[in-house]
Amino acid sequence: MDPRDIETAVLETEKARITVLSIGCAIQAWEVKSRPHRSVVLGYGNPADYIANPVAMGIVIGRVANRISGGRFTLDGQTHTLPRNAGPDHIHGGPGGFGWRNWRMERDGSRAVRLTLTSEDGDQGYPGKAEASVTMTLDGAALRYDMKVTVDRPSPVNLAQHSYFNLMGDGDVMDHVLQLRASNYTPNGPDLIPLGKVAPVDGTIYDFRKPRRLGLADPDREGSDANVVLDPGEGPAATLTAPDGLRLRLWTDQPGLQVYSSVTLGPHGTPMPGPRHLPFAALCLEAQGYPDALNKGFPASIATPDAPYTQTTTIEIA
């Protein structure tokens, strides 16, 4: 990919200014105007660094987010083999997944942008041709993602935004307070592949049913990287609060949320001014379907010609 082909759109209101790149629908910067000169997401200063982007910085992941064990799945009696780009497993749609592709960008004034991508049959091993669209709309302090994928034959589809949030703009994120509308989670094995069961969060580092400081939940800093199962309800799925009171709230129509405390994050490329790219420098809150669903018996997100994949996720920071 030629870095000169990467386009930029700036969404701006009286409360926020967000820089979006065409590569991977990446959010490069998110400035909150009540906190001047502070970006609340990690990003690369050079858009060309998003071409490699080994940590999925700020992108929209697809065709399927998270891990698929063994790099294969069976759908309608046919087994599909995928690139194994995480040891023996497949992660985040493969090395040429949606997040590492340059999308077509259509700006709609100063508050919305629509990005579209065509993924051909067999792309990264997935069946069927897929037409994906992601529309980002900034309303005041809230950014809404409207995602849609149409296919010409059944295919798993599970998109996820993968921004790294640090509401203080720098330092350790473990002083933030998190609350999740989640009583259960899908525990992983040591390879970060789900074990295939749903378990209560009680007594785990994923118990944020009440507001809890990240460092208190994980005093040994083992790091979080698992999917919580969201409870039914109308309120935010997640609320993250910084020490100075700046607050993130996330709403989604997805059944799960990957909670990742950037435990393995390291320096890659040239960071934007502000947050450093270090372990525990940020928190990812990735709205998604069940991970490794087809291999573990979880409800799977399967798009068909008659039933496209859709997701609506809204993130407000104020």
Q: Which residues are catalytic?
A: 162, 286
> Could you give the CA distance from residue 196 to residue 127 in angstroms, rounded to a whole number?
24
Report the candidate in 199, 163, 186 with the shortest Cα–Cα distance to residue 59.
163
Count helices and strands (H / E) in the chain: 2, 25
Report the candidate in 289, 268, 250 with the shortest Cα–Cα distance to residue 61.
289
Instruction: Write out the H or E segment, with its range, that includes residue 293.
Output: helix 293-296
* Burial track 15-53 (b if 16+ CB lie within 10 A, e otherwise): bbbbbbbbbbbbbbbbbbeebeebbbbbbbeebbbbbeb
Q: What is the dihedral of CA 50, 54, 58, 59, to 10 degrees?
A: 80
* Burial track 87-105 (b if 16+ CB lie within 10 A, e otherwise): eebbbbbbeebbbbbbbeb
Helix (H, G, I), strand (E, B) or coil at 104: strand
Q: 214 forms bridges with which residues in the sheet? A: none
Write the burial class of residue 307 (CB in 10 Å: 0-12 exposed, 13-18 middle, 19+ buried). Answer: exposed
DSSP letter at 190 equals T
> Could you give the CA distance from residue 194 to residue 23 in angstroms, rounded to a whole number?
29
Instruction: Tally Cβ neighbours within 10 Å of residue 316.
Output: 19
Report the candidate in 155, 53, 143, 154 with the shortest Cα–Cα distance to residue 101.
53
Among all chains, which residue has been given the structure tokens 């400035």?
31
